[in-house]
């Protein structure tokens, strides 16, 4: 088995999952590394060692097993005697249940595949973050610098709070005017219904634009933004020399 074949086969055919049975020990271990859901099962296989008849098969058993099997077959024959139609009808009634059980099993297998895929993707994400420790450290340093700047703006925040009562008074007056505007808003919105109905096409166009620009933002703009993040040490040097604009 080529190691990349199962995953590549799913990608090419668009399959929801792939099952590999009777894998060797090396294949079992490697498939687990790929994110496949691993499980161990046990099967019993009967081999025909050249028996010419069922009597020859019975003769190869020990006396206790032979007697038990003969008694079991005799009891089954007696129980099924003249009951073939009833047994067939019983099996037929179980057919819908069997189909539902099969559908449930298929959905469970899909869920197992999705869980395994999520675990695999999460591991890749953790590995990617682990390789970006310097960038994450720079991001944390930049965040600390931002919060330090916020802390220095405490006086401005207090001045803003002193102005808040007057702003609330004006807000109350504005809300009174808003009630008047609301009485006029209903008829206006009714007239805007045709325009709202036309927004569906515009929304689809916006979605297509977003899908087209997402790779550009992710692959070009975001890496560029990370490269120009402010360096914490450089900002400390700038403050020590008294450079920069202290008013925001």
pLDDT for 118 equals: 85
37 and 108 part of one domain = yes
Q: Distance between CA 194 and CA 162 in Å, rounded?
A: 46
Residue 164 domain-assigned (yes or no): no
Instruction: Indicate whether 172 belongs to any domain.
Output: no
Q: How far apart are CA 14 and CA 9, in angstroms?
A: 8
Is position 248 within any domain? no
Q: Are residue 98 and residue 35 in the same domain, yes or no?
A: yes
Given 86, 114, 149, which residue is the final one in a domain? 86
**Degrees, nearest 5: CA angle 4-7-12:** 110
Give me the pLDDT at residue 5, please: 64
Residues 35 and 98 placed together within one structural domain of the fold: yes
What residues contact 28, with CB distance under 8 A and at least 6 apart? 38
> Distance between CA atoms of 53 and 60, rounded to whole angstroms?
11
Q: 128: part of which helix (H) or strand (E)? A: helix 95-130
Any domain includes 119? yes
Range of the domain at 71: 48-86
Name, in order, each residue with C-beta under 8 angstroms of 232's C-beta and a sequence gap of 6 or more.
Answer: 138, 141, 142, 144, 145
Q: Which two tokens stand for residue 198?
A: 């036309």
- Using CA atoms, how far apart are residues 153 and 47, in angstroms rounded to an integer? 84
Q: Say how many CA atoms lie within 13 Å of 248 toward its Cβ.
A: 10
19 and 80 co-located in one domain: no
Q: Within a domain: residue 199?
A: no
What are the average pLDDT values for consecutive 10-residue runs of the chain, which has 248 residues? 62 76 85 81 80 86 89 79 72 78 85 83 79 76 78 74 78 76 74 75 82 83 76 50 44
Contact 152, 72 (CB under 8 A): no
Q: For residue 163, what pLDDT is reported?
A: 77
| Residues 102, 36 within the same domain | yes
Residue 103 and residue 31 share a domain: yes
- Is residue 65 included in any domain, yes or no? yes
Q: Is residue 207 part of a domain?
A: no
Q: Are residues 75 and 7 in the same domain?
A: no
Q: Are 75 and 5 in a shared domain? A: no
0.75 cut: is pTM over it? no
- How many domains are contained in the chain? 2
Q: Is residue 26 part of a domain?
A: yes
């Amino acid at each position: 088995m080529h190691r990349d074949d199962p995953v590549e086969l799913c990608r090419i055919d668009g399959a929801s999952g792939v099952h590999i049975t009777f894998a060797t020990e090396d294949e079992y271990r490697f498939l687990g590394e790929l994110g496949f859901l691993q499980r161990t099962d046990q099967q019993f296989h009967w081999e025909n060692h050249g028996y010419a008849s069922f009597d020859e098969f019975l003769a190869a058993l020990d006396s206790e097993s032979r007697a038990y099997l003969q008694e079991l077959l005799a009891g089954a024959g007696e129980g099924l005697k003249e009951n073939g139609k009833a047994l067939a009808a019983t099996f037929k009634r179980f057919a819908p249940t069997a189909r539902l059980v099969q559908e449930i099993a298929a959905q469970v297998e899909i869920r197992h595949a999705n869980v395994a895929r999520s675990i695999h993707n999460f591991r890749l994400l953790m590995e990617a973050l682990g390789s970006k420790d310097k960038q994450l450290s720079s991001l944390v340093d930049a965040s600390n610098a931002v919060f330090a700047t916020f802390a220095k703006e405490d006086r401005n925040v207090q001045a803003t709070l002193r102005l808040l009562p007057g702003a609330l008074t004006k807000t109350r007056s504005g809300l009174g005017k808003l009630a008047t505007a609301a009485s006029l808003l209903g008829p206006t919105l009714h007239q805007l219904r045709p325009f709202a109905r036309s927004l569906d096409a515009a929304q689809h166009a916006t979605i297509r634009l977003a899908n087209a620009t997402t790779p550009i933002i992710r692959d070009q703009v975001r890496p560029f933004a990370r490269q120009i993040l402010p360096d914490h040490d450089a900002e400390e040097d700038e403050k020590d020399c008294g450079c920069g604009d202290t008013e925001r």
